[in-house]
Amino acid sequence: MAMHLRQLFLQHLAQTSPAPISLEIVNAEGCILRDIQGRRWIDIIGGISVCNTGHRHPAVVEAVKKQADQYFHLLVYGELIQSPQVNYAAKLASVLPPSLNCVYFTNSGAEAVEGAMKLAKRITGRSEMIAFENSYHGSTQGALSLIGDEYWRNAFRPLLPGIKHLQYNSMDMLREINSQTACVIAEPVQAENGVRLPGKEWLIALRKKCTETGTLLIFDEIQTGFGRTGSLWAFNKYEVVPDILLLGKALGAGMPLGAFISSHDNMQSLTRDPVLGHITTFGGHPVCCAAGIAGLDVLLNENLISAVEAKAGLFLEKLKHQLIIDVRSAGLLITAEFADALTCKKVIDYCIDNGVLTDWFLFAPHCLRIAPPLTISEEEITEACTVIVRGCDHVQRLTFNVKASEGFTKVS
């Protein structure tokens, strides 16, 4: 049956790569995944920064069941008062700066990016935008236009005009922001570039230049939000507040949900000329919002965020090996960097074969991704790191054996 299902998966489900991992997971709880044969994996990527409260947290499961007993979808977004949407928006506003008090829920992070781009054009009356090299914001047409890597952009041109891609964390780039710039979109931590942190001074200067030129500053916290970096929002650490905030991934605590957030006054611009300036059918689905509220409550009430730095420190302590040339961390968004992509891929393959689910970064394939549920225990961290280090040993031995074999052949 397992083989049959795998064949159906490859035949009838649209694939995103020629070699999917193809694990058939039948149960997920906390940080542990199990397949149809009972094999176990420690999940150290958390659905790509989605499952911050762990897989199937009891409070989230209960919230989903309770809402499912009341109603699912009712009507196109924004027409009826649905308590899960309203309560979640109000709760988010309560833990954000006062200027970020109005939420537009979408189905995903990429859709949040699209909505924010429209909002920036509408508020400023401008169309030029600035994004950064090695930034990732999604793969819809508008979001793809912002992606900071030509490898992904080029195959789908023509894309949106008027977008500049500048160097991240560069003071020199600030002069490119002018009275024609609608918005600058930046990640407070560049995730897909292998966890690259900006300087606080640069973000402060970026905020200042945007304010001076009437340009909207958009922070993409789709990967870094909800405690991932050790504070509820990554921008908390820099004392810089954006005009628009993008959320997704962990926003729904495992359910599909995205959002762009700005001031109430800014959001009103989408209600007129034309009416329905931005619209979605399923955005802010009530079951997803119920799950999200429960997930945020778990983060705030179970002190998961306060434990992030200590858990990150344990990863940094344990990830020591000759093949690992650097380990970078923004809380529990961590990368182990290798000399090349092939070495990283071999370590990843070893990890998956030996009970640890990990991956690489889109713009840094030589970097191993670590972004586990914030609920991960010290024992699970130790076990995962042990497997990673053993994987490094395994790859190192293979490399040595190949070189020794080549040398023997040459000598003979």
Closest by Cα among 204, 213, 209 to 235 = 204
Tell me: do 314 and 379 sit in the same domain.
Answer: yes
Indicate if 284 and 357 belong to the same structural domain.
no
Quick one: 280 and 379 in the same domain?
no
The average confidence (pLDDT) of the chain is 94
In terms of residues, how long is the chain? 412
299-329, pLDDT tens digit by residue? 999 999 999 999 999 999 999 999 999 999 9
Residues 30, 31, 36, 37: what is their CA dihedral angle, to the nearest 10 degrees?
-120
pLDDT in tens, 110-133: 999 999 999 999 999 999 999 999
Please indicate, yes or no, if residue 209 is contained in any of the structural domains: yes
Q: Are residues 167 and 310 in the same domain?
A: no
**Are 96 and 126 in a shared domain?**
yes
- Predicted local confidence at residue 403, as pLDDT: 58
Alpha helices in 198-285 (DSSP H): 200-213, 264-267
Q: Is residue 12 part of a domain?
A: no
Do 330 and 297 lie in a common domain? no
Domain end call among 301, 318, 350: 301
Same domain, 100 and 219: yes
Query: The domain spanning residue 194 has which CATH number?
Result: 3.40.640.10
What is the mean predicted confidence (pLDDT) over 40-62? 97
Tell me, letter by letter, the H, E, C secondary structure of 127-194. Answer: CEEEEECCCCCCCCHHHHHHCCCHHHHHCCCCCCCCEEEECCCCHHHHHHCCCCEEEEEECCCECCCC
What's the pLDDT score for residue 406? 57
Q: Are residues 223 and 368 in the same domain?
A: no
How sure is the predictor about 410, in pLDDT bands with cuts at 50, 70 and 90? very low
DSSP letter string over 70-90? T-S--SSTTSS--HHHHHHHH
Q: Tell me what pLDDT residue 16 has.
A: 82
Instruction: Select from 261, 281, 301 the last residue of a domain.
Output: 301
- CATH label of the domain that carries residue 311: 3.90.1150.10
User: Is a pLDDT exceeding 80 seen at residue 404?
Assistant: no
Model pTM score: 0.95
How many domains does the chain contain in total? Answer: 2
pLDDT value at residue 243? 98
Are 38 and 97 in the same domain? no
Q: Are residues 90 and 138 in the same domain?
A: yes
Q: Does 1 reside within a domain?
A: no
**C-alpha span between 304 and 223 (Å, rounded):** 17
End position of a domain, from candidates 269, 285, 301:
301
- Same domain, residue pair 36 and 84: no
Domain that holds residue 23: 19-49+303-411
Q: Report d(CA 164, CA 131) in Å as an integer.
A: 6
Same domain for 33 and 113, yes or no, is: no
In a domain, 176, yes or no: yes
State what percent of residues in the chain have pLDDT above 70.
Answer: 96
